[in-house]
Amino acid sequence: MTPTPYAPSPTTAVPLFSGRTGVRTYHVRTLGCQMNVHDSEHMAGLLEEAGYRRAEEVPQAAARATRAGDGGADVVILNTCSVRENAANRLFGNLGQLAEVKRQRPGMQIAVAGCLAQQMGRGIVERAPWVDVVFGTHNLDMLPALLERARHNAAAAVELEESLKVFPSTLPTRRESVYAAWVSIAVGCNNTCTFCIVPSLRGRQRDRRPGEILAEIEAVAAQGAIEVTLLGQNVNSYGVGFGDRRAFAKLLRASGAVEGIERVRFTSPHPAAFTDDVIEAMASTPTVMPSLHMPLQSGSDTILRAMRRSYRAKRFLGILERVRAAMPEAAISTDIIVGFPGETEEDFQATLNVVEQARFASAFTFEYSPRPGTPAADRDDQIPAEVVKDRYRRLEELVRRMTHEENVKQEGRVVEVLVAQGEGRRDAATARISGRAADNRLVHVALPQGLSATDYAGGAPRPGDMVSARVTHGAPHNLIADSALCGAVSAEALAANEARPAGDRVWYDDGPALFAVRRTRAGDAWEQAQAQARAAPEPDTAPVPIGMPTIRVGAPSAGGRVQG
């Protein structure tokens, strides 16, 4: 069945309004992959179209937030992941904390979404009867209606679909960033990896048409975005559904040509389907960034065969070699699983050998965990937990050493960093700002002496602006660019700096001071969004419906939706 475009119905727009905060508020907590992050943006868009407001933007709601992660909201949505074994334990732990909040907050609703909801369905309500709504990966569009149904019936609303009915990209979207956007090019996966539950929960791959994707990129560019990330479970299989095996390379070139877009990224490809035309498109399109996430999973051909990963270590390393030949500056990251059933010490050593040769810029490493419903979970040669943990420790030590060595090689290089909001947890304490370089490495950039990070009129870069700085230190997981503070530094200052803990130290080098800001229209869009948020009416002065869908005077008709 072909997914249909989203069309809101009058029944999706009947939010229950809270007497305390003036308007029904929501908070979405996202667990899992980038696909879940983007799905959460759709959920937020649907709720705002239905008249809800984000709890963080309503002071009365935000003030009552608790440590349970409820955000102070009337509606809390947990968007779940099922990739790891402890996903269910984590979910029910979170739900247990929210139960007490709900008892103290009349009218509060809890919804569970995502892959674990698709997998467990009504089982979630059976274990946590205080949950109001459960919906899966194929029916995001039903969220507002399910919340209203649960409220009206005073009973849990559980609704799952076996296949996609509405393509998520046609849904309303509340994007987390005005300067960088996720753009889905396909949903689902046709691979049959024996450890992975995702294909059974998200279905077979469905491709969007190129024109629809490019139209969305043009739209987010018009709204101020300068970076887009193309999303799919297996992006380089894009086009198989409509008979064009070179479609992804063509899409990369076309995306990079959209006016206003300065950076194009994508995630994730699959080594078996990764072709040289994609490498050529990356290398020849200036706006496609020199970064590549290429999942290895294992360096053992025996284990790759058992995983049903249709490539071998030699092919994987060959891809990396060709990427680096075309783009010497490319940073390559990966995923690796240790302790897959049947993995011998020889198999594990093969993985270490590939990691040594690959020299990844970063790696996401995982202990294998059996997922019910996958072939690997039924094998009788599971690896003892203590062996898995030992191998994980050894792999982590190697990855940390490799990534540190690769980051040290970046010292002295001038990078252009897209300033981001929330990337650096210690930015305020260290007087730095943070963002991503072209190769997607995280960079912490020192501000010039005396410049506050929020003094935008005085020259501080806004989120969405670009900063050029020189890397002065390569740390294991990030780069530090303190070149703004370099140049004429006194001996006393150098000595005092050396006495500080490493985390509080300025990383000087022998080069001149360098800190150059390029203000962008993305920064303009961010600043405008902040101004609009400050100008928004407080809930107690906003129109407050009394339970019936209404149309605000002067607003265009929206099919019965509440205009908030």
- Outline where 159-209 has alpha helix (H): 198-202
Six token digits for residue 36? 């879940």
Q: Are 347 and 298 in contact (CB under 8 A)?
A: yes
Check whether 7 has a pLDDT greater than 80.
no
d(CA 245, CA 531): 45
pLDDT at 16: 44
Average per-residue pLDDT for the chain = 87
Weakest mean pLDDT among 192-206, 411-425, 499-513: 192-206
DSSP state of 169: G
Q: Phi and psi for 206 in degrees, rounded to 5? A: -125, 120
The kind and range of the H/E element at 493 are: helix 491-498
The pLDDT-based confidence of 440 (bands split at 50, 70, 90) is very high
Query: How confident is the model at residue 354, as a pLDDT?
Result: 98
Return the C-alpha torsion angle 35, 284, 404, 266, nearest 10.
0
Overall average pLDDT of the 335-361 stretch: 97
pLDDT at 422: 83
Position 561 pLDDT exceeds 90: no
Q: Give the pLDDT score at 40.
A: 87
Q: List, for residues 57-114, the tens digit of each pLDDT value.
A: 899 999 999 999 999 999 999 998 876 667 777 888 999 999 999 999 999 999 999 8
pLDDT at 544: 33
Q: Which residues contact 454 (CB under 8 A, 6 or more apart)?
A: 460
Identify the residue with better confidence: 331 or 49: 331
527 in Cβ contact with 456 (< 8 Å): yes
Range scoring the smallest mean pLDDT among 17-26, 209-218, 238-247: 17-26
Instruction: Characterize the bridge pairing of strands 109-114 and 75-80.
Output: parallel
Confidence (pLDDT) at 84: 65
Q: How many CA atoms lie within 13 A of 60 on its CB side?
A: 15
Q: Give the tens place of pLDDT for each residue, 34-54.
A: 777 888 888 999 999 999 999
**Is 60 exceeded by the pLDDT of residue 128?**
yes
C-alpha–C-alpha distance, residues 300 and 350, integer Å: 5
**pLDDT given for residue 32 in this prediction:** 72
What's the average model confidence in pLDDT over 545-563? Answer: 29
Task: Answer whether residue 228 shows pLDDT above 50.
Answer: yes
> What's the pLDDT tens digit per position in 175-189?
888 999 989 999 888
Helix (H) or strand (E) holding 230: strand 227-231
Global pTM reads 0.83
What is the pLDDT at residue 392?
97
Q: What is the pLDDT of residue 510?
A: 93
Task: List the beta strands (DSSP E) in 98-187.
Answer: 109-114, 133-135, 157-159, 180-184, 186-187
Beta strand 432-436 with 414-419 is antiparallel
Q: Check whether the bond before 82 is cis (ω within 30° of 0).
A: no
pLDDT at 388 over 80: yes
Given a cut of 90, whether residue 371 has pLDDT beyond it is no
Most confident option among 67-76, 85-94, 232-241, 418-427: 67-76
**Rounded-to-integer distance, Cα 19 and Cα 22, Å:** 5
d(CA 133, CA 117): 10
Each residue's pLDDT tens digit, 265-310: 999 899 998 999 999 999 999 999 999 999 999 999 999 999 999 9
Please give the share of the chain, as a percent, with pLDDT higher than 70. 90
Q: Is the pLDDT of residue 545 over 50?
A: no
State the Cα angle at 315 between 268 and 377, rounded to 5°: 60
Residue 28: per-residue pLDDT: 94
pLDDT-based confidence at residue 536 (cuts at 50, 70, 90): low
Name the more confident of 160 and 279. 279
Q: Is residue 526 scored above 80 in pLDDT? A: yes
